[in-house]
Amino acid sequence: MTALTVAAQPDRDASLRPVPWRGMAWVTWRQHRVTLISLLAVFGALAVFLWLAGLKIHHNYAVLTACHPFTSTACQALNNTFNHADWTLANILGILMQLVPALIGAFAGAPVLARELETGTFRYVWTQGFGRARFAIAKLVLLAVAVTAVAWAFSQVFSWFFRPFLAQEDLSVLSGTVFDTRGIAFAAWTLTAFAIGVFLGTLFRRIVPAIAVTLGGYLGLSLATWWLRAHYPVALVTSNPSISGNGPINVNDPWVLNTWFTGPGGKPANPAVVNQVLALFPTHGAPLVKETMAQAFAQRGITQWWRYIPVSRFWPMQFIEAGWLLVLSALLIAGTVWLVRRRAA
Amino acid sequence: MTIDKGNSPAGGAVPGAGEAAPPAGTGSPIEFRLDPASGVPTYLQLVQQVEHALRLGYLKPGDQLPKVRDVVTSLTINPNTVLKAYRELEHKGLAGGRPGQGTFIEATLSQIALPELTTLRRTLLTWLASADAAGLDEDGIVALVTSALRDFFDRRDGSADRRGTDTEGVA
Amino acid sequence: MNVMETQDLGKRYRRDWVLRECNLQVPAGHLSALVGPNGAGKTTLMQLAVGLTLPTSGGVTVLGGQPAGSPAALNGIAFVAQDAPVYKNLSATDMIHLTRNLNRGFDHRYATSRLGELGIAPGKKSGKLSGGQRAQLALTLALARRPQLLILDEPLAMLDPLARQDFMATVMTAMADDGVSVLLSSHALAELERVADYLVLMSGGRLQVAGEVDDLLACHRVLTGPAAEADRFAGPLRIVQTRRAGAQAHLLVKMSGPDDPVPPGWEAHPVSLEELVLAYLRSPGTETPPGLSLARPPLTRPAEPSAVTR
C-alpha cells in the first residue's frame, strides 16, 4: 500500500451541537430520488393529459351550453356525445382519483423506513452521528411536504378538468366522490395515506405487508369518512320545502342529510298521518308538488324539517376534513418516530 | 531482515510488498519482518532484530528505527506491540525517542553501564600510576597493554573452544 | 478511559437470554478481540454498545461513561455491522457524501484518497462491488469519521486472504495514526495474536475470559508430565484444560502468580493465544474474571509523542 494521507482531527468539543439539519435535504433526495422523480413524472404527465383533455371538454361544454334550443336534435346530439364519450372518460378518472392517495401512501410511504429495516442498512444509518430520530423526522417531513404539494397541484388541475361535469351530471361539490378530489381535501388525504404507509412500514419492518395493510386501512378510513362527513358541525335545519333533495338535482342544491316531521307543539308527528299525506303525493319531487304537499301537512298541523348542508359550506367542510386528517397524519408521523426511537435491532 | 542501506532511496526496495521507497535522507536503514511460527512474542522479535542489526552494523547510533506507523502498515501488527518493543529498547538503553521525530539508536550493544566504566577507568589509572612508578614510558605501556590484550582474548576464545578440558593452567 | 463498560448487562429475545450478567471494562487504546462460537452473544453485545438494541437488564456505557446510543456516543463510535451494509444502489461517492452529511467532522480528503488507493471506482454502484471492496468501503467511511472507537462485527468473514491483510493493515494504521480504539469480533484466531492486545471471550451468552493478551499469556502455561500425577493438581491448580494419553498429560493451567514453581518432574511451556482460546471454549465452566493483571500494569499508549511519528 502506498503512503496514506494524514488525517485532520475534527473538533471534539464536549458540548455536542447536533449535526445540522440541512444535510438531510441531500440525503432525502438521494435516497428517494426515484420515488420523487416518479411521482413528479407520473403526475406531471397526467396533469398535462388532463389539461389537454380538459381544454377539449371545456370547449365542448361551452358549445353545448350555447346551443339553442336545447331540445333540438342537434343540441341533443351534442348532449349525448358529452354525456357518453366525455363523461365516460371523466367518470373513470374520477374513480381513479379515489385510488390515487391510497396508491401513493402504499407505494411511496411504506418503503421509506421499511426498506432500511428490511435490507439491514439501518445498522449503518442509525449509527451515524445524526441520530435516528432526527433522521426519521427530517426525511418524513421533507417527503410529506413533497407528496402533499404534488397532490395539491394535481387536484387543482383535476378540479378544473371536472368542473363542467358537475352541472351536466347533476353532481354537487359536496358529493362523496367529488368532495375529496377538490380543494385541499385531496392533498390532505394523500398526506394521511402517506403517513399511514410510513407508520405501517416502520411497524411491520417489511414493505409488502405494509403496502397491503395501508391499502386496506385507507379504504376503511375513507368509507368511515362518508359517514363522518354527514356529522360535520356545519349542517343547517329548515322547514322550507324548497330544500327538498328528491328529484332533479341542481349543482347548487344542498346535500340533504335527513328529514323528520313534527306535530303541533313541536312534538313528533303521528306517523300514520304523515304516511297518509305522503300517499297523496306519490311524486314529491316537482317544485309545485312540494308546495302543495307542504300545505297539506300544514293543514294537519305537521311541519316537515330537513337537516342539510348548503353548497356554501363547502370550504368550512374542507377545512374540517383537512384539519382532522392533518392531526391524524401528525399523530402517525409522531408514532413512526416513536417506533424508530424504541426500535430494537 | 531486509537491508536498506541508508541514503539511497531507490536501492533496497522491499520485494513484493509494493511499498514506496522512503524519501531520501529520512527513513530507517532496516525493515522488520515477522516469523509467526517461531513462538517468540512479536515484540521480542522486533527487539531481537534491532539488536542483531546493531551487532552486524546495519544500525549505528543516530540511525532512526522504523516509524511505528510504517511497521504497523507493513506487518499488520498492533501498534502497541511496536511501542512495547521500542520501550524495551529504551529500557535497555539502546534507543531513545525524540519528540516529534521518532525513535533513534543511542548506543551500541557493547556499551556498558556508566558506573562500571568509571570503576574500570579508576582501576586503570591506578595501574597506570604503578606502571609509571615502575619506570615504563608511554610507548612501553602501550606495548604491554597491546600484548596482554591479545593474550587475553586468545585465551578467552580458546577456552570457549575447549569446553571442559583443563590442559593449560588457568589464568 | 474505558471505551466500553457493561454492568450486569443482559439481553433477552422472547424467552432466550442471548447475553447474561456481562461485566466488562474494555480499555481504550487497544484492539480488543471479541471471540466466541456462533450464538455466543458477540453481535448482541456490539449492538447494545452502539445503541441499536436496548438491554433487558443491566446497562452499558461507552467512551468513558456516555450512555450507549447517546449523541456523544454516536459521534465518537463508528460501527460496521456484519456483511458491511451500504446502500447497494448508491455509488461510493454517494456513500461518502451521505456519511459526510450525517456526521460532524468527516475527513473527505482521506475518504476519497483511500478509494483511489483501493481501486474502487467512485461512480460504480456499491452493489456491484466485490465483497472485499464493499468491506473496505464501509471501513473507509467509518474511519473517515475519525471515531474514538471503531466497532467491527466479523469484518473478515467474507474476505479472501489478501483482502483480510489489507483490511487489517488499514485498521492497524488508523490505530497508529489516530489512536483509534478497536473492538472487533472474529473467528480468525491465528491472526488475532498479532493484532489483538485485549481479549474478550464469550460463550453461551456469558463472559468467560477478559483481559490483556500479554497478561493472559503470561499467567497461563501448559504443564506436561506423567498422566498418573495429573489428578493430584485438580485442587491446588486452576486447570483450564486437561489432555491426556496413557502415560503423558498436558495441563493448561492458570497460574496464581508470575513465579509459580513448576512441579518437580513436570515441564512448563508457554501458551499461544489460539491454544488458550480453544482451551477455554472447550471448557465452558471455567472463567477468568475481567480486569486480570499481574504485577505489571496494563500497557497504555505513552503520553509522549516520541515513539509515534506523524
Q: B150 versus B65: which is more confidently predicted?
A: B65
How far is the alpha carbon of C86 from chain A, nearest alpha carbon, in Å?
6
A partners (3+ CB pairs within 8 A) are B, C
CA distances from A116 to A113, A120, A206 (A): 5, 6, 9
The two beta strands, C267-270 and B2-3, are: unpaired
ipTM metric:
0.85
Which range has the worst mean pLDDT, A176-180, B23-27, B93-97, C195-199? B23-27
Chain C residue whose CA is closest to A31:
C90
Chain C residue whose CA is closest to A1:
C117
**A81-89 long-range contacts, CB within 8 A, separation 24+:** A82/A168, A83/A168, A83/A169, A86/A56, A86/A57, A86/A60, A87/A165, A87/A168, A87/A169, A89/A53
Q: Do C107 and A124 touch (CB under 8 A)?
A: no
Q: Say how many residues make up chain B.
A: 171
Chain A residue whose CA is closest to C153:
A123
Which range has the worst mean pLDDT, B24-28, B114-118, C101-105? B24-28
Q: Residues of chain B whose C-beta is under 8 A from some C-beta in A?
A: 18-20, 73
Picking from B41, B72, B97, the nearest residue to C176 by CB comes out as B72
Torsion angle, CA of A33/A34/A35/A40, rounded to 10 degrees? 90
Q: A148 versus B3: which is more confidently predicted?
A: A148
Q: Do B18 and A1 touch (CB under 8 A)?
A: yes
Q: Which three cell numbers stand for residue C280?
A: 477455554
Q: Do A129 and C166 touch (CB under 8 A)?
A: no
Mean pLDDT of chain C: 85
Chain C residue whose CA is closest to A131:
C71
Task: Tell me the per-residue pLDDT of A79-92, one tens digit each, with 9 for 90 and over.
Answer: 887 878 778 888 88
Q: A203 versus B41: which is more confidently predicted?
A: A203
Q: Do B20 and A4 touch (CB under 8 A)?
A: no
Both C46 and C178 in one domain: the answer is yes
Helix, strand, coil percentages for chain C (3-state, nearest 5) = 35, 30, 35
Picking from C74, C110, C177, the nearest residue to A129 by CB comes out as C74
Residue C290, domain member (yes or no) = no
How far is the alpha carbon of B70 from chain A, nearest alpha carbon, in Å?
9
Residue-wise DSSP of C205-239? TEEEEEEEHHHHHHTEEEEEEEGGGGGGGTTTSEE
Cβ contacts (< 8 Å) between B16 and chain A: which residues? none
For residue A126, is pLDDT > 80? yes
Cβ contacts (< 8 Å) between B102 and chain C: which residues? 306-307, 309
Type of residue found at A126: W
pLDDT the model gives residue C306: 40
For residue C40, is pLDDT > 60? yes
Q: Do the beta carbons of residue B145 and residue B124 sit within 8 Å?
A: no
How many CB atoms are closer than 10 A to CB A152? 17
Q: Do C307 and B68 touch (CB under 8 A)?
A: yes
Q: What is the mean pLDDT of residues C202-221?
A: 89
Q: What is the mean pLDDT of residues A254-276?
A: 81
Both C231 and C156 in one domain: the answer is no
Residue C301, domain member (yes or no) = no
Both C52 and C188 in one domain: the answer is yes
B partners (3+ CB pairs within 8 A) are A, C
Residue C37, domain member (yes or no) = yes
C partners (3+ CB pairs within 8 A) are A, B
For residue C74, is pLDDT > 90? yes
Q: How many CB pairs under 8 A join A and B?
A: 8
Cβ contacts (< 8 Å) between C146 and chain A: which residues? 7, 9-10
Is B102 touching C (CB cutoff 8 A)? yes
Both C26 and C148 in one domain: the answer is yes
CA distances from C257 to C12, C199, C219, C233 (A): 38, 20, 7, 16
How far is the alpha carbon of B69 from chain A, nearest alpha carbon, in Å?
10
Helix, strand, coil percentages for chain B (3-state, nearest 5) = 45, 10, 45
- Which residues, 6 or more positions from B61, have their beta carbon under 8 angstroms from its beta carbon? B104, B105, B106, B107, B108
Q: Which domain holds residue C242?
A: 217-285
pLDDT above 70 covers what percent of chain B? 73
pLDDT the model gives residue B92: 86
Q: Do A127 and C117 touch (CB under 8 A)?
A: no
For residue B16, is pLDDT > 80? no
Is C299 touching B (CB cutoff 8 A)? yes
Residue C102, domain member (yes or no) = yes
How far is the alpha carbon of B120 from chain A, nearest alpha carbon, in Å?
49
For residue A124, is pLDDT > 70? yes
Q: Do B98 and C272 touch (CB under 8 A)?
A: no
> Among A1, A2, A4, A6, which would you mutate to test the B interface (most chain B Cβ atoms within 10 Å of its Cβ)?
A1
Q: Do A3 and B20 touch (CB under 8 A)?
A: yes
Which chain B residues in 62-101 lie under 8 Å from chain C, judged by CB atoms?
67-69, 72-84, 86-87, 96-101
Q: What is the mean pLDDT of residues B86-113?
A: 83
Task: Tell me the per-residue pLDDT of C229-241, one tens digit each, with 9 for 90 and over.
Answer: 777 776 667 888 8
Q: What is the mean pLDDT of residues C124-136?
A: 90
pLDDT the model gives residue C293: 37
Nearest to A161 by CA among A246, A242, A48: A48
**Separation CA A210–CA C82 (nearest Å):** 26
Cβ contacts (< 8 Å) between A122 and chain C: which residues? 52
Residue C210, domain member (yes or no) = no
Phi/psi at A263 (5° precision):
-95, -165
Structurally, chain C folds into a number of domains equal to 2
Mean pLDDT of chain A: 84
Both C222 and C134 in one domain: the answer is no
How far is the alpha carbon of C45 from chain A, nearest alpha carbon, in Å?
12
Cβ contacts (< 8 Å) between B75 and chain A: which residues? none
pTM for this predicted structure? 0.79
pLDDT the model gives residue A15: 53
Nearest to C219 by CA among C291, C159, C118, C162: C291
For residue B164, is pLDDT > 70? no
pLDDT the model gives residue C296: 37
Region of C86 on the Ramachandran plot (φ > 0 left; ψ -120 to 50 alpha; else beta): beta
Q: Do C176 and B79 touch (CB under 8 A)?
A: yes
- Which residues, 6 or more positions from A81, have their beta carbon under 8 angstroms from its beta carbon? A60
Which range has the worst mean pLDDT, A224-228, A252-256, A304-308, C98-102? A252-256
Most confidently predicted of A224-228, A236-240, B150-154:
A224-228
Both C176 and C228 in one domain: the answer is no
Partnered with residue A56 across adjacent β-strands are none
Q: B39 versus A341: which is more confidently predicted?
A: A341
Cβ contacts (< 8 Å) between B73 and chain A: which residues? 1, 4
Question: What CATH number is associated with residue C81?
Answer: 3.40.50.300
pLDDT the model gives residue A244: 59
Q: A315 versus A255: which is more confidently predicted?
A: A315
Sorting pLDDT into bands at 50, 70 and 90, what band is C57? very high
**Separation CA A84–CA A63 (nearest Å):** 16
How far is the alpha carbon of A219 from chain C, nearest alpha carbon, in Å?
33
Domain ranges (residues) in chain A? 23-226+313-342, 236-312
Residue C34, domain member (yes or no) = yes
Both C24 and C151 in one domain: the answer is yes
Both C139 and C249 in one domain: the answer is no
> Among B46, B76, B89, which would you mutate to test the C interface (most chain C Cβ atoms within 10 Å of its Cβ)?
B76
pLDDT the model gives residue A157: 93
Asked if the bond preceding C270 is cis, omega within 30° of 0, the reply is no
Picking from B36, B39, B69, the nearest residue to C309 by CB comes out as B69
- Which residues, 6 or more positions from B62, have their beta carbon under 8 angstroms from its beta carbon? B104, B105
pLDDT the model gives residue B37: 78
pLDDT the model gives residue C302: 44
Sorting pLDDT into bands at 50, 70 and 90, what band is B159? low
For residue B102, is pLDDT > 60? yes
Nearest to A130 by CA among A208, A50, A233, A18: A18
Chain C residue whose CA is closest to B101:
C309
pLDDT above 90 covers what percent of chain A? 44
pLDDT the model gives residue B111: 52
Is C285 touching B (CB cutoff 8 A)? no
Sorting pLDDT into bands at 50, 70 and 90, what band is C305? very low
Task: Tell me the per-residue pLDDT of C6-37, one tens digit each, with 9 for 90 and over.
Answer: 999 999 988 888 999 999 999 999 999 999 98
Task: Tell me the per-residue pLDDT of C81-117, one tens digit each, with 9 for 90 and over.
Answer: 998 899 999 999 999 999 999 998 899 999 999 999 9
For residue A325, is pLDDT > 60? yes
Q: How many CB pairs under 8 A join A and C?
A: 117
pLDDT the model gives residue A251: 66
Which chain C residues in 132-161 lie under 8 Å from chain B, judged by CB atoms?
none
pLDDT the model gives residue C288: 63
DSSP class of C310: -
Residue-wise DSSP of A199-235? HHHHHHS-HHHHHHHHHHHHHHHHHHHHHHHTTSTT-
Which range has the worst mean pLDDT, A167-171, A246-250, A265-269? A246-250
Sorting pLDDT into bands at 50, 70 and 90, what band is B38? confident
Both C190 and C241 in one domain: the answer is no
Which range has the worst mean pLDDT, A22-36, A187-201, A294-308? A294-308
Chain C residue whose CA is closest to A7:
C110
**Separation CA B96–CA C158 (nearest Å):** 42
How far is the alpha carbon of C53 from chain B, nearest alpha carbon, in Å?
30
Is B44 touching C (CB cutoff 8 A)? no
Torsion angle, CA of C261/C266/C270/C276, rounded to 10 degrees? -100
For residue B58, is pLDDT > 90? no
Both C181 and C36 in one domain: the answer is yes
For residue A101, is pLDDT > 60? yes
**Separation CA C49–CA C55 (nearest Å):** 10
Greatest distance between any 2 Cα atoms in chain A? 107
Both C102 and C241 in one domain: the answer is no
Residue C304, domain member (yes or no) = no
**Separation CA C72–CA C63 (nearest Å):** 9
Type of residue found at B36: P
pLDDT above 90 covers what percent of chain C? 48
Q: Which three cell numbers stand for residue B86?
A: 521500542
Most confidently predicted of A24-38, A285-299, C293-307:
A24-38
Most confidently predicted of A5-14, A177-186, A249-258:
A177-186
Task: Tell me the per-residue pLDDT of C141-174, one tens digit each, with 9 for 90 and over.
Answer: 999 999 999 999 999 888 888 888 889 999 999 9
Residue C169, domain member (yes or no) = yes
Partnered with residue B104 across adjacent β-strands are B64, B96
Task: Tell me the per-residue pLDDT of A163-185, one tens digit each, with 9 for 90 and over.
Answer: 888 877 777 778 878 888 888 99
Q: Do B83 and C272 touch (CB under 8 A)?
A: no
For residue C298, is pLDDT > 50? no
Residue-wise DSSP of B74-131? HH---HHHHHHHHHHHHHTTSEEEETTTEEEE---TT---HHHHHHHHHHHHHHHHHH
